[in-house]
Amino acid sequence: MAADVGRRVLLARGVRAPFVHGLWYIPVSMEETEIQFMRAALAEAERAAAEGEVPVGAIVVRGGEIVGRGGNRMIGSNDPSAHAEIVAMREAAQRLANYRLTGCTLYVTLEPCAMCAGAAVLARVDRLVYGCDDPKAGAVRTLFRLADDLRLNHRIEIARGVLAEECAACVREFFQSKRAP
């Protein structure tokens, strides 16, 4: 019943949203704020690339303010868990003095892996916005659907494709430069 009401409201607004696993997926609108925050995540990815890390960047936003940011640091820190999302969520949790990141949106340039998607669920992140799909390790849409699995006690609203081409180019160019003679 509630799903039908929600669908009618969306259709009245002209939104064509697919209904999957009992949830409506509203396509991301490329609002200026979404682009601005994804550009901040891209800046973190570029910093990571400059340090020889795989260029993935993430930021955590609460109330329109960046409360955490990070780029991949696995190689430099010899820490397999130092993915951009984990680094950003750790910083946000410290800054907010709470391991629960309710009311927060996680922006990341590349679709999160299983570890990062699971951490976002456990941190109770409200929303996840990512740039490009990851066909090798993506655990939000591509290989798995961990962030909004109905079997879990928390589900994250997901938006994808914000600055997708720029995010994909960042990763592609990094690996091309590593393979160049």
119 close to 85: Cβ distance less than 8 angstroms:
yes
Choice among 44, 53, 85, 111 that is catalytic: 85
Q: Which two tokens stand for residue 19?
A: 């209904």
Cβ burial, residue 59 (10 Å; 0-12/13-18/19+): buried
Residue 174 in 3-state DSSP?
Answer: helix
Cα separation, 70 vs 58, whole angstroms = 5
| DSSP per residue, 11-44 | HHTT----EETTEE-PPPP--HHHHHHHHHHHHH
Residue 105 in 3-state DSSP?
Answer: strand
Q: Is 85 in the active site?
A: yes
The beta-strand segments (E) located in 13-126 are 19-20, 23-24, 57-62, 65-71, 104-110
Catalytic positions are: 85
